[in-house]
């Protein structure tokens, strides 16, 4: 159990580190320095006599070229990344900024350029001080050629990536990917490995957060261990994404003995990671909110881009449809933490996050209204009662908004016709 919990906690922490631009460059710099000094190992070994002779001037020239150019390229890459981040925040939503920071191609490119610069400077310094003999010089030459090749390949890949980074389509894809990963994890473990809540709370103690912020992660193993230690049942009331405040309980605790005195509640609170912002990893609803914000911004009078809103609607259909896809029954029914009860995410809340603002802001746009009717009818046709109910409600609500916002009778008739056709199609599918 501890290994699984450590892995889950490690996953969360690694995702936080991936948003720090200094982590990978620091690792590559340390590796570069270690490689430079490791080249000395071959000197004095049995393999030293087998190494070809390399002129020191050739290695020095190559290192000098790399040292003078890598810092410039690294500076250029940082400027390009910052411009892409600003474009993503301005054209899509500021909530996508964390995903832009965690872009693997850009971080790998920056790390490679900075690491190559450090490698060339340290190697050049060692070379000038006659640190290497003939064999070590050959190894350094080989390493320099390899680093140079890696830099070229990385630069080509990065140029292709930076051309897309920050563009609205790329941002939507990144938010969709993050939302899918979070939703699949929650679909496969709807109660996070705990038991399902009964809906009623017996006599017990509500536990409140010691700080104000958003719940980012819940360490179920800590809750289980704490509950076993005090012989209690814990009901989680605040899922990841919940805003924790002085009047919002994180959990409800029922002690078997009924004795509340001397209970170490701070240890229970340590299972709840609370931060200033919501995160995508354990909060699929946050991804739906981000996608909805992108569509809402596109529908604003200043942007007036219904095509982007239509693209987001299609993305939302793909993401929400994942809920109805087959999951691993063993993982879904696995109960690792029998003393912790966790509620499932409300399908109704997910639809509110996804479609309310789009239906409101796009009510006066005919093409958006038609696409909403088609999308929600598609979701209503899924074999899931909760999804059907939520999709039907939002489809009717979107039609009401459109009828009130549109002024021309022909436009209203077009949206009503789309709603009627898709409703009939869904009804026929249900009968079949």
Please say whether the beta carbons of 33 and 114 come within 8 A.
no
Q: What is the pLDDT of residues 369-383, one digit of tens each?
A: 999 999 999 999 999
* CA 140 and chain centroid, separation: 40
The Cα 374–Cα 369 span in angstroms is 9
The Cα 17–Cα 102 span in angstroms is 9
312's CB contacts (< 8 A; 6+ apart) are 172, 291, 292, 294, 295, 298, 358
The Cα 324–Cα 385 span in angstroms is 10
What is the per-residue pLDDT for 26? 84
What is the per-residue pLDDT for 234? 92
What is the per-residue pLDDT for 5? 45
Q: β-strands 232-236, 337-342: how paired?
A: parallel
Q: Which helix (H) or strand (E) holds 396?
A: helix 385-405
Please say whether the beta carbons of 135 and 42 come within 8 A.
yes
Phi and psi at residue 394, to the nearest 5°? -75, -30
Distances from the Cα of 399 to the Cαs of 393, 419, 424, in angstroms?
10, 7, 15
Q: β-strands 249-255, 272-275: how paired?
A: unpaired
Residue 421 vs residue 149, higher pLDDT: 149
Q: Which helix (H) or strand (E) holds 293?
A: helix 284-298
Helix count (H) and strand count (E) of the chain? 16, 8
Buried b (16+ CB within 10 A) or exposed e, 330-362: eeeeeeebebbbbbebebeebbbbbbbbbbebb
What is the per-residue pLDDT for 360? 95
The full set of domain ranges for the chain reads 2-166, 169-361
Q: What is the pLDDT of residues 221-247, one digit of tens each?
A: 889 889 988 888 999 999 999 999 888
Residue of 279, 276, 207 lying closest to 246 (CA atoms): 207
The Cα 267–Cα 255 span in angstroms is 15
Q: What is the pLDDT of residues 319-329, one digit of tens each?
A: 999 998 876 66
The Cα 321–Cα 178 span in angstroms is 15
The Cα 24–Cα 163 span in angstroms is 22
Q: What is the pLDDT of residues 278-311, one digit of tens each?
A: 999 899 999 999 999 999 999 998 888 999 999 9
Rounded mean pLDDT, 351-366: 94
CB-facing half-sphere around the CA of 181: CA atoms within 13 A: 11
Distances from the Cα of 74 to the Cαs of 24, 155, 431, in angstroms?
13, 10, 62
Please say whether the beta carbons of 156 and 105 come within 8 A.
no
The Cα 369–Cα 363 span in angstroms is 6
User: Rg of the chain's alpha carbons, rounded to an integer?
Assistant: 28
CATH 3.90.1170.30, applies to 169-361: yes
- Helices of type H across 342-384: 347-361, 366-380
Q: What is the pLDDT of residues 65-114, one digit of tens each?
A: 888 888 888 888 888 777 777 776 677 777 887 787 777 777 888 888 98
């Amino acid at each position: 159990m501890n290994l699984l919990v450590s892995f889950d906690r490690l996953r969360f922490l690694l995702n936080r580190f991936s948003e720090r631009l200094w982590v990978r460059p620091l690792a590559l710099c340390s590796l570069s320095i270690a490689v430079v000094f490791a080249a000395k190992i071959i000197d004095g070994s049995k393999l030293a006599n087998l190494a070809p002779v390399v002129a020191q001037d050739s290695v020095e020239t190559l290192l000098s070229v790399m040292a003078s150019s890598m810092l410039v390229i690294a500076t250029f890459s940082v400027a390009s990344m910052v411009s892409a981040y600003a474009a993503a925040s301005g054209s899509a939503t500021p909530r996508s900024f964390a995903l832009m920071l965690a872009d693997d191609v850009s971080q790998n490119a920056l790390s490679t350029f900075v690491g190559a610069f450090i490698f060339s400077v340290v190697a050049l310094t060692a070379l000038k001080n006659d640190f290497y003999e003939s064999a070590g010089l050959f190894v350094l030459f080989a390493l320099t050629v390899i680093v140079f090749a890696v830099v070229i390949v990385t630069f080509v890949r990065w140029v292709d990536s930076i051309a897309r980074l920050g563009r609205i389509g790329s941002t939507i894809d990144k938010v969709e990917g993050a939302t899918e990963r979070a939703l699949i994890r929650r679909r496969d473990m709807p109660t996070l490995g705990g038991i399902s809540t009964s809906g009623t709370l017996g006599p017990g103690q509500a536990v409140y957060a010691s700080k104000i912020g958003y719940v980012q992660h819940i360490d179920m193993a800590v809750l289980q261990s704490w509950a076993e230690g005090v012989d209690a049942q814990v009901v989680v009331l605040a899922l990841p994404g919940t805003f924790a405040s002085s009047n919002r309980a994180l959990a409800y605790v029922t002690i078997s003995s009924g004795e509340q005195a001397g209970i170490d509640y701070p240890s229970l609170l340590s299972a709840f990671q609370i931060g200033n912002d919501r995160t995508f990893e354990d909060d699929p609803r946050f991804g739906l909110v981000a996608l909805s914000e992108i569509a809402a911004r596109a529908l604003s009078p200043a942007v007036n881009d219904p095509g982007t809103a239509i693209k987001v609607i299609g993305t939302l259909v793909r993401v929400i449809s994942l809920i109805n896809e087959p999951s691993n029954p063993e993982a879904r029914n696995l109960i690792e933490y029998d003393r912790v009860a966790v509620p499932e995410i409300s399908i109704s809340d997910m639809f509110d996050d996804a479609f309310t603002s789009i239906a409101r802001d796009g009510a006066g746009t005919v093409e958006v209204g038609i696409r909403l009717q088609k999308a929600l009818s598609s979701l209503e046709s899924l074999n899931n009662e909760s999804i059907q109910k939520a999709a039907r409600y939002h489809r009717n609500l979107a039609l009401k908004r459109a009828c009130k916002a549109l002024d021309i009778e022909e436009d209203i008739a077009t949206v009503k016709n789309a709603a009627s056709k898709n409703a009939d199609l869904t009804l026929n599918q249900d009968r079949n």
